[in-house]
Each structure stands twice: as C-alpha cells, then as structure tokens.
Structure 1
Amino acid sequence: MRPQNGLRAGLASALTSAFVRPIANAIPANRAGVAFSRAFIASSLWLASPPLKGSRIEPGIRGEWVRAPGTSEGNAVVLYIHGSGYALCSARTHRGLTTRVSAGTGLPVFACEYRLAPRHRFPSAADDVRAAYDRLLDQGYRRILVAGDSAGGHLAVDLAAQLLRERREPPAALALFSPLFDVTFGLAAQRERMSPDPMISAAAAARLVGLYTVDADLASARLRFAFDDIKGFPPTIIQAGGLEMLAADAIELARALRRAGADCELDVVPGQMHVFQALTRFIPEAAPAMERACRFLTGNLPAIVRAA
C-alpha cells in the first residue's frame, strides 16, 4: 500500500503546485484578495475534507461545538484553533478537521472563532483565543486539550505561554498541525530555496500574515517565542509535511520547546503538504497522522483533576 499511497500524495502535490500555488501567489493582500481567498479556501476544504458523517455541530459563544459519534461528556474538552494566516477560514471551514479530532479523542471540540485580519490586527485573535479558553473553564471544563493548524498553532503556543507566565494552569497537551513559528517567514524562505512549497510562496504567505502583524513588534514575546522565561510547557506533538516550507518552523519550534524542557514529539511526514491532515479525500496518510495526534492528546489527559 505504501507505494500507492506515495503516488497519490505525489499526484496531489503536483496538482496543487500546478493550479493552487499560482493562484495563491497572485492574489493581492488587500480586502478584495482576502475575500476571494476566503471563498476559494472554503470551497477547497469542503471538497478535500468534508465533515465526518454523523457529527453534531452546535453554535457556541464565538465558535461552535463539534461532537463526533460516540463522544463522551464530562469535564474534558478540546479547544481547536483554526489557521490560514489570521485572515482566512473559520470554524465552519475546518469541520473536516474538528470532527475528526472529536472522533479521535472521543471528546467534544470547541472550535474557536477569532477576529480576522485585515479588519482586526494583533493581538485581537490571540485575545479571542484566550477568552475562549477562559469560557471553557467557566463552563466547568478542567481538562482542556488544545489543537491548532498553521497560524492556529502559533495562537495555541501563545495561549499556553501566556497562561504559564501568569502562573495559571496551561492546557494538558497540545497538537499542532504545520504550526507557524517564525512570523517573518525567514525560516520558510530558507527552506523554500531548497524546494518550493506546493501551495504558496514564503513571500505571499508573509504578505497575508502581515495584515495581522502590520502594527506589531515582531520581536515581542507574543510573536517571537523563546520560552526562556517559562517552565512547565505542556506536552506537545508537532506534525508537518516534508514538502512544505513550514516544516522548517515545525523543526525549530520543537527544538525551542525541547530546550525549555518540554516533552515535544516531532512528526515530519515525507512527501506531504501543509496541513495534509485536512486532505482526507486525497491523502491516505491524513487519517493515520490524525490518529497519532489524537492518541498523543488523550495519552496526556490527566485522569484526576483538582477541584476548581
């Protein structure tokens, strides 16, 4: 099966490089370009990663609740933070991922809706993620896992770091899919010189993220993570595709977390693209990778929780 799987992944990468990358690189980083990108990505994700059948989707405060069949209720939950450059996507576009995270963990997932650029700039998205986490605590959830992809991975790391700096209990564990680490895209540009990313160029991705960080100090601790001042970072699994430019970010983030003493598992899957876990209809490796991430999350879920 592996050769056939590799051929399918290679074909998906070739088609993405031929058709998606030119579009992504050509779209201007303005309101009209963002509007087009939102519609393009929403339709693409719906085609490549439909929600898992039988899942229940219910509205929540600034987000939505996702429950796959067989979900158990209690004081454990997964907070999911979607990606796409702080400017695109939503809880709705990511139902293919969130329903599978719910199925893989057996837990309800709260998919956070945060304010998007260019209308809303740093730190509005990070503030909204923090507010979602605090609401889950207020609702009685004492065992919180966090998962996120791309820019959502960056927001997940910021959330955990901020809680630790405030000496508050961080999430029990994190699962990060193709996380953004270097918001300047310097690491991505270096890797791109070795091999182009099938989806988008580093320059185009940097323009998109720049809509969110335009007025921010890129060297601030909220954007450029160092972890020198925090201890006890949650166990973290980082997954990335071997073909994507953000594999460099995944590797460097893992190094930084390990230097800080964190338990960090790095899983760079050869031949795969950015957030390949979302491409369930086309990529055979998507489901096994998601299973590994969910096992990591539940394996680090505490069985006993201190009273609030």
Structure 2
Amino acid sequence: MTTTTNRDHLPRGVFAAGSRRTRMAALTTRLTLRPMTNLLPTNRSGVEFSRRLVATSMNLFGPVPKGTRVDLVSDDPVRGEWVRAPGLTPGPRVVLYIHGSAYVICSARTHRGLTSRLSRSTGLPVFTVDYRLAPEHPFPAAADDVESAYRWLLDQGYSAANIVIAGDSAGGHLAADLLIENDRTGTPQPGAMVLFSPLVDLNFGLSAQAERSRKDPMISAAAARKLVALYTDGHDADLPRLRLDLALVRDLPPTLIQVGGAEMLRGDARHLNTMIHAAGGLCELEIWPDQMHVFQALPRLIPEAEHALEHASEFITRTLDNPVVQHNSMKQVNR
C-alpha cells in the first residue's frame, strides 16, 4: 500500500491503482453511458430522461441504509431534508450538503443514499438543501437557495464553526460561491468543507484539457457544458458569482477535496486546491486512482466508496475537534 505524496495526492492507505471492480465499472460506463449522455438533447424531454436515468442509477448503486430517518423541510425559502443515520443522537454539529449534477438533474432525494451514509460515517445529521433546478430556475436561483439554507441553519441555533459544508460536482461550485458571499456579507464561515469532484470552471476549459490525456467515463466536457449552460442561461461565465475567485476571501474553512483519477474534473479539483492555498487557506487534495465522478455515491459498484467516506469523516472530526487548526487558515497543509 502507498502513502500520500505531494506529486500524486494519493489518499492515505490506498493502492496506486483502482480495484478491478472499479476499473471494470469505468470501462463499462465508458462503453455504455458515455455515448448516451453525449447524444442526449438539452430540451425538456432530454432533461427529464437524464433526471430519471440518474435517479435510478443512484438508487440502484447507492441505496439508503435501513433505519435511516428522513424529515422533509419546507420553510420558505428553504426546502430540503434532514437525513439522520439510525440511532443518531442530536448534537451541536451538522453537515449542510449541496448536491450536484450540473444544476439540472439531481435532488435531495437522489442523494439520500450518499447523505445517509455520510451521516452514519460522521455521526452527524445532514441537511440536504433541495435548491431549485435549471432550466426551470436559472442562475442565481441555486446559489441563492444555498445561501438561504446556510443562514437558516444559523437561525436554527447552529454555530458557524460547527457547520460542515459538503457537496459534489456543481455543489462544489455552489459551496465555494457561498464562502465568497459569506465574506462579502460578513457572515461567519463554516468550520470545515468537504467536496467530492467539485466543478470550478463553468466553461469546462480545465475539463477539456484533462480529456486530452484521459476521457471521462461518464460524459464529455462539451456535453457537460451544454447542461450547465441551462443554469448560466446566457450569462457570461466570467460573471463574479460564476467565475470563482477565492483570492480575497478571509477565514476560509479547512477543506478536503476528493476527486477520481479517471474523471475530467480532476483538473478543477487541482485548481481549487491551488486557489485555496494561494489565499492562505488549508486544503487537502485526494486523487483516487481510476475512480469515476462522485464515486462515493456508488458503494454497490465501487469498493472504495466507503473507504473514501471514512477519510472524509476522519477529516471532519479532526478539524472540528481541533479549533487551533480550524481557525489557523494561514497554515498550509498538503498531504
């Protein structure tokens, strides 16, 4: 087994190559799913088909563990759901989860398997914000809903230092936007952040560059760009809330980024890691060999999924239990 290196960002205790099941899953996905996602139109019927396809896949390969408690929330303008692992005892800490899938496809429900296992792994309740989706609700609807959910948790009595922001894919972009808005409005920043396969560049230039060396098994950069365009809706991708710039953001929370070595967003993950360090923040980047996009959501398919969540849980506990590290954002760590 190998340890993490600064060059490869290998997670601690992870082999330098994915498991056989992982590599077979990536090959099968590349041969079956990728051709379909690249051809699907971005009209109403295409979007609805994509939503059904992803919902079915998430439920099949990442089901909700038995005994999980789910409580729906509708407290205008906040919509979402509380997800609690069996036997969970309430406490002062909470995870705010921001799901991904191009601002268009997924929901709190599709991610219930992932958030329930995250709750089980961390021992924390997870509130998944069910933000409005494009194309029905273009920019800045999703970003505004995420900001409202964070303020709502503060109003519920949670200390910012005890809130963990977690998210995947487009949820990573929304999470970073939240930090920028918190800084702009003087709102206290969360205590920690964990991102799975975060999207950073909405022009998908970084993804296109990564594709030249290895094609993403699930979708091409061009097809993903068309989906995201339903959210940006004609706005210039260099608009401040669309082009992430963390350079002047104060008190960035300690962050863990996990990304698959087989996916095109590995370039985005590296870029976000570099931005956080350049801003004086603390960030750990883990590149999981041969893994696909948000592999943590697919435990029935990917053996490493649970191991990755264990890493995330350890990071959260270590960060929240150590207030010196938590608030020393000028110290840089690179595992």
What's the TM-score, normalizing by structure 1?
A: 0.95
Q: Does the alignment pair 1:114 with 2:137?
A: no
**What pairs with 1:134-213 in structure 2 (closer than 5 Å)?**
134-142=151-159, 143-213=162-232
In structure 1, the residue matched to 2:69 is 56
How many Å separate the matches in 1 of 2:17 and 2:224? Answer: 31
Q: Does the alignment pair 1:9 with 2:22?
A: yes
- For the aligned residue pairs, the C-alpha RMSD in angstroms reads 1.6
In structure 1, the residue matched to 2:296 is 277
| Residue number among 228, 233, 237 corresponding to 1:214 in the alignment | 233
In structure 2, the residue matched to 1:91 is 108
Instruction: Assess if the C-alpha contact under 8 Å between 1:164 and 1:231 holds in 2.
Output: yes
* Structure 1 unaligned blocks of 5 or more: none
| Residue number among 9, 23, 34 corresponding to 2:47 in the alignment | 34
In structure 2, the residue matched to 1:227 is 246
How many Å separate the matches in 2 of 1:206 and 1:3? Answer: 31
Cα deviation for residue 205 of structure 1 reads: 0.2
Name whichever of 208-217 and 255-264 sits farther off. Answer: 208-217
Q: Does the alignment pair 1:301 with 2:323?
A: no
Corresponding pairs, count: 304
Cα deviation for residue 4 of structure 1 reads: 10
Name whichever of 42-51 and 1-10 sits farther off. Answer: 1-10
What's the TM-score, normalizing by structure 2?
A: 0.88
Q: Does the alignment pair 1:65 with 2:78?
A: no
Instruction: Assess if the C-alpha contact under 8 Å between 1:21 and 1:199 holds in 2.
Output: yes
Distance 1:229 1:3, change over 3 A: closer
Cα deviation for residue 76 of structure 1 reads: 1.4
1:245-278 Cα offsets, whole Å, 9 max, x none, are: 0011001110011100110000000110000101
* Structure 2 unaligned blocks of 5 or more: 2-14, 324-335
| Residue number among 117, 123, 126 corresponding to 2:140 in the alignment | 123
- Classify the secondary structure of the residue corresponding to 1:286: helix
How many Å separate the matches in 2 of 1:228 and 1:277? Answer: 29
Identical columns (%): 54
Instruction: Assess if the C-alpha contact under 8 Å between 2:18 and 2:289 holds in 1.
Output: no
How many Å separate the matches in 2 of 1:43 and 1:173? Answer: 31
